[in-house]
Amino acid sequence: MLRLVIAAAIAASAATTVLAQSDVIAQRKDLMKSAGGATRDPGAMLKGEAAFDLAKVQATLATYQNVATKAPALFTDTSKTGGDTSAAPKVWEDMNGFKAAFEKWNADSKAAAAAIKDEASFKANFPNVLKNCGTCHETYRVKKS
């Protein structure tokens, strides 16, 4: 009977660990998707496909700051694999660099939010913020085929 109780406890613990791991991965994927979704309108503005809208640009920059602040905590040691993660092993090999990339994105987003007042300042500042996305994805994300 005792063995059965111990086995059940071990199984429950393992299931909880897997669930927690998947939850963290799902949380970070949702958070990163919010950044991607927020980029749509300003991206269209940069391409000339949509009219400049300062409120939408500022909302996007606020989303970026939120994501940059929250995301690093969601890359836990127990979430290196599973949950269809696209995080590269480099995240955990270079956690300081990874966190620094988010800090830079946050700082650049704050600076752009202060600098962008009109379409000209948007076109001058927003692309620099977007470079953070590409830099991080190239280094810390598994390339999808």
Report field, pTM of the whole predicted structure over 0.85: no
Q: Give the type of residue at 87.
A: A
Count how many domains the chain has. 1
Q: What is the pLDDT of residues 99-129, one digit of tens each?
A: 999 999 999 999 999 999 999 999 999 999 9
Orientation angle between helical segments 95-115 and 54-70, nearest 10 degrees? 160
Report yes or no on 31 lying in a domain.
yes
d(CA 128, CA 116): 12
Report yes or no on 76 lying in a domain.
yes
Phi, psi of 82 (to 5 degrees): 90, 175
Q: Are 87 and 80 in contact (CB under 8 A)?
A: yes
Q: Can you give the residue range of the structural domain that contains 48?
A: 2-140
Question: 143, 138, 105, 121: which is closest to 42 by C-alpha?
Answer: 121
The CATH number of whichever domain residue 12 belongs to comes to 1.20.120.10
Report yes or no on 145 lying in a domain.
no
Report yes or no on 121 lying in a domain.
yes
Residue 22 in this model has a pLDDT that exceeds 60: no
Sign of the torsion angle spanned by Cα atoms 102, 107, 113, 115: negative
Question: 76, 60, 63, 102: which is closest to 23 by C-alpha?
Answer: 76
DSSP-derived 3-state class of residue 94? coil
Q: Give the type of residue at 81.
A: T
Report yes or no on 107 lying in a domain.
yes
Report yes or no on 105 lying in a domain.
yes
Q: Give the type of residue at 108.
A: D
- Burial class for 119, CB neighbours closer than 10 Å (0-12, 13-18, 19+): middle
Q: What is the pLDDT of residues 49-67, one digit of tens each?
A: 999 999 999 999 999 999 9
